[in-house]
Amino acid sequence: MADSCTPRRGSRHYPMIVALIVGLVSVGAPWVTVELPTGATGTAGVAEVAPASFSAALAAVAAWGATLLTRERATRVVSVLQGLLGGVAIVFYARAFIETDSVIESVASNASGVIGALSASDSVTTWSPAWIGLWGVVLLAIIISGLWGVLVPGRRGSGRSKYERSDQVDEPDPWESLSDGEDPTSR
């Protein structure tokens, strides 16, 4: 029986389930809205603002899905990969906010239809900190789940079904039972 301080093996999936739900809700949300002097408006979500972060997060979700099918040792290895992908996603998430001018210019170019004609200073930009923060929560949950998978990978069993007989069961020899006066068919 598990200690009360030891996490249950399935509990490592809770952060990923939260990440999936929040990620699916926030993936289409506008992170940035750019209003151009011409009156055109453009919006962009996570896939446009931080595409590398989005891609790394999707790969981390795929790694987590693989851990649902693997045994303990492989789960640890894939969980390390999941945590690393979450870290890469955070690096590209932060990078999108370091290079905000290029993000704004890209959204403005898409909204105007003219590439490179407008600079970041030519437009009015509104960021959505709630959606941006939620994506940060998603990435942290991915990393936490990956670390948890390394520390508590869970067990997938010995490869034997619970209905299969164990090799260690000592079945009495039916001929011995007959010699002892027992009917082996009465069991």
How far apart are alpha carbons 56 and 31 in whole angstroms? 18
What is the number of other CB atoms lying within 10 angstroms of the CB of residue 87?
15
- DSSP conformational letter for 185: G
Domains and CATH numbers, the chain: 12-153 (1.20.140)
From first to last of its 187 residues, the chain has per-residue pLDDT tens of: 444 454 455 677 888 888 888 888 888 888 888 888 888 888 888 888 889 999 999 999 999 888 888 888 999 999 999 999 999 999 999 998 888 888 888 888 877 777 766 666 777 888 888 998 999 999 999 999 899 888 888 755 555 555 665 656 566 677 777 777 777 777 6
What is the number of other CB atoms lying within 10 angstroms of the CB of residue 31?
24
DSSP string, 7-56: PPGGGGGHHHHHHHHHHHHHTTS-SEEEE-TTS-EEEE-HHHHSHHHHHH
Determine the number of helices (DSSP H) and then strands (DSSP E) in the chain: 7, 3
pTM: 0.70
Residues in the chain: 187
